Amino acid sequence: MLILNVDDYAQARYVKTRLLRNAGFVVAEAGNGQEAISMAAALLPSLMLLDVRLPDIDGIEVCRRIMADPATCAIRVIHISAAFITTRDIAKGIASGASEYIVVPYEPQELIAVVRREAAWAR
């Protein structure tokens, strides 16, 4: 199973990638929204960890575009955010097509548990 980890903050992206790889997942990385959309279409990952705050296209819009494309709409999306953490933000993220929304800070075992659960639903 391939996971696409999307985060513009290199250190946060590194930490998530390392956690996932240590848990046995194969991980590709993207640093912005446009790169995420392109990589999603090219790689067709089963799951995407998607930061909401990105420098070019926010994660909510990236998720909408992923879900609107018949080629990528089966990708499971988990939003992750330290900045957009209100109930309204979470509802907006889920409404964009994401199946989960994780608020930072999170415990490593929480991330792995959510990814494993979502992986069970992924194609």
* CATH code for the domain in which residue 42 is found: 3.40.50.2300
Looking at residue 123, what is its pLDDT?
58
The pLDDT assigned to 122 comes to 81
Structurally, the chain folds into a number of domains equal to: 1
pLDDT in tens, 59-107: 999 999 999 999 999 999 999 999 999 999 999 999 999 999 999 999 9
Let me know how long the chain is: 123
Question: How many Cβ atoms are within 10 Å of 36's Cβ, its own excluded?
Answer: 30
Range of the domain at 107: 2-121
| 5 three-class SS | strand
Contact (CB, 8 A) for 6 and 30: yes
Give residue-wise pLDDT tens across range 24-38. 999 999 999 999 999
CA distance 83 to 112: 21
User: What whole-number distance in Å separates Cα of residue 12 and Cα of residue 17?
Assistant: 9
What's the pTM value of the predicted model, to 2 decimals?
0.96
